[in-house]
Structure 1
Amino acid sequence: MEKLTLLGNKQVSYSSEYDPTVLEVFDNKHRNRDYFVKFNCPEFTSLCPVTGQPDFAALTIAYVPDIKMVESKSLKIYLFSFRNHGAFHEDCVNIILEDLKALMEPKYIEVQGKFLPRGGISIDPYCNYGKAGTKWAGIARYRMMNRDLYPEKIDNR
């Protein structure tokens, strides 16, 4: 198992620039079954790459682990590194998915952002991935095709 350097470390510094190198993993001790791990991140922030204005979102990251799992404190520090990063909402969720996919090689992963309205428009990007050649590739296609069958009402934000 890899050494976790952030968990329990009180001297952790938070990067003010996007930094995927802070992500750490540990071994999945329950590889004999499929199960979801879901992170709710209600205070995600990034910057608009054009105006530099802050964007706020609630992110949901869910995955089915294979061999490795992401350590939650490193994920928190990684997400914090977007605070001064200029990227469109759609880019943020796709960057996060690709970084976590490369780190863990999960069976399945999805990332959804629910960005607060700015200029009267909210944006809710969603992306997912299922490992090719497994049932999870089909599940990823199915979940993508069935996104927003029941869209939100404006009054429930």
Structure 2
Amino acid sequence: MPTTTLTVLKFHTADGAEQALEVVEDLSKQQLVTLQDAAIVTWPEGKKKPKTRQLSSMTGTGALGGAFWGLLFGLLFFVPIFGMVVGAAFGALAGSMADVGISDEFIKSVRSKVTEGTSALFLMTSDVVMDKVVEAMKDMDFELIASNLSEEQEEKLREAFAED
């Protein structure tokens, strides 16, 4: 059974994640990555909160479904608004999110970096042909915010996408 990876890439423009998703979908068609599910957060300048969109053009339904993405984006962007009212419920759910590599640190990191004027691409992938993916995305301006890879795997990924 291949290991599934959740990766979050932050782009410095509100449309960067959309452009990157097109590249990832193309890589998927070439069977250089298995794209199991994806979602995009775009936060245009002047808006109070980001817009989120789950990838729906995949065959069948996404691996995780709308409930997962809804919960994740709720934790990332709306919990401070709800505060105490739903804090305990989200706390319990956040505990189960940690089981799939989504820790408090992950949430805080994404929340602090995905801000007005930026976008983020959330990818659930497996079977990645890393050198081909790196080659296809090398000219894109993004930051790897988080992944549930091992520290060693994540460091290799960061090195692969580091500036030359």
Per the TM superposition, whether the score is higher than 0.5 is no
User: Rg bigger for which structure?
Assistant: 1
In proportion to residue count, which structure has more helix?
2
Higher-RCO chain (CA-CA 8 Å, sequence separation at least 6): 2
TM class by shorter chain equals 0.3 to 0.5
In proportion to residue count, which structure has more strand?
1
TM-score for both structures, normalised by structure 2: 0.32
